[in-house]
Amino acid sequence: MEKVAVIGLGYVGLPLAIEFAKKYETWGFDIYESRVEELRSGKDSTLEADEAELKASSIHFTSQLEDIKACNIYIVAVPTPTDKHHKPDLTPLYKASETVGSVLSEGDIVIYESTVYPGVTEDECVPVLERVSGMTFNQGFYCGYSPERINPGDKVHTLTNIVKITSGSTPEVAERVDALYNSILENGTHKAASIKVAEAAKVIENSQRDINIAFVNELAKIFNHLGIDTLDVLEAAGTKWNFLPFRPGLVGGHCIGVDPYYLAQKAQEVGYHPEIILAGRRMNDGMGEWIAGEVVKRMIKKHLAVKDAKVLVLGITFKENCPDIRNTKVVQLIDELKEYGCQVDVYDPWARAEEVEEEYGIALATQLEEGSYTAVVLAVAHQEFASLDIEALKVNNGVVYDIKGVLDKTMITHRL
């Protein structure tokens, strides 16, 4: 009988641990004792699990290595970010591999879920496991790769009702990994031909989305010059049966804004310079600054002073109805508005104020002042903003810029 340890209890690891615990003895391991204590008390700051679900689960939460030594399946679900130069930062993966390597026993399987470029599992992680454990790959221990497909805040496409890619370092291990995941999924799995194929499949999923969003972001810039409403154009074009329904916007988060850099890094290592992938990244990474400039232009056209103007930015998380602030591009928008001399208030009922302060040095507004904002920018489509009286918040003739295209057209100055 499998005994499962999930390493890393964030947006990916916690839902995994919950589902595996329904079938197997499962340990949830995290290096942060505060996270372990939070989960033990039935609280989840990521909002991926509710209190009743946590308290009903049989997961053993721990930050002690001794507790997971008896497991024979180790699933690594730690972040794989990029550094300030957009280079993949594998530090969390290396450290997690050291952790697992220190408790490995003969015959154990280590499955990675973290998003990586092709080759990371076998070329980067396996040597760490071998060094720390003292065992040989595919003789003493084995590996698998099953890329995460968690969409933070999405209560429709959840872990159990999606198709999961699986793979293993030998045909026998691939079968065992596939059976393991099939035991908790409703829609089954796709067993990839190899670990590298599974890694490549994951990294292109979000690269494809990134490139498509970059295309519509460029369209938004073109149509802005032409005086045409971008969303009106997309709605009309969307009547064609095979038109892809992508929308313009800020592209942040841990996946879409990061994964293309992993693929680009590997391509450059083997001597190929990726053009479309990096062009898409440049387009999407620059949208925050571009939108800030568009807001300021509209203030000037309305003869509104820009220096010291109070601007309200609604939302700072990377997506709607979710507390995740990782790699949010709203921060670029805020910083650029401040560069123009604006005083920026940021309001977000979903984000955790302490986390925003610690990560970005931004103090979230707790109260909004009616009739005081020269411009209001809706950056994230949180459900709470649908009932917000934006008209009452802005000054007479103030600018309302709707990045997400969710507000009534009669009450906005412009939408992306």
* Separation CA 91–CA 269 (nearest Å): 19
**Which whole-number Å values give the CA distances from 88 to 92, 171, 207, in the listed order?**
11, 30, 15
DSSP state of 31: S
Nearest to 114 by CA among 153, 164, 80: 80
Q: What is the DSSP string of 227-241?
A: T--HHHHHHHHTTST
Dig out the tokens for 380 from the structure. Answer: 């994230």
**Cβ atoms within 10 Å of 170's Cβ, excluding its own:** 12
- Contacts with 208 (C-beta within 8 Å, 6 or more apart), sequence order: none
Report the candidate in 356, 359, 345 with the shortest Cα–Cα distance to residue 323: 356
**Residue 291 vs residues 154, 298, 329, 369: alpha-carbon distances, Å:** 27, 11, 11, 23
Q: What 3-state DSSP class applies to 3?
A: strand
Question: How far is the C-alpha of 247 from the C-alpha of 232, rounded, in Å?
Answer: 11
**Distance separating alpha carbons of residues 150 and 165, to the nearest angstrom:** 13
| Active site annotation includes 71 | no
Residues 6+ apart with CB under 8 A from 273: 267
Distance of CA 178 to the CA centre of its chain: 25
DSSP 83-135: -TTS-B--HHHHHHHHHHHTT--TT-EEEE-S---TTHIIIIIHHHHHHHH--
Contact 315, 325 (CB under 8 A): no
| Residue tagged active-site, from 125, 143, 255, 342 | 255
**Between β-strands 73-76 and 164-166, what pairing exists: parallel, antiparallel or unpaired?**
unpaired
Tokens found for residue 310: 């109070």
Beta-ladder partners of 281: none
Of 365, 351, 362, the residue nearest 323 (C-alpha): 351
Query: Which residues are catalytic, by number?
Result: 255
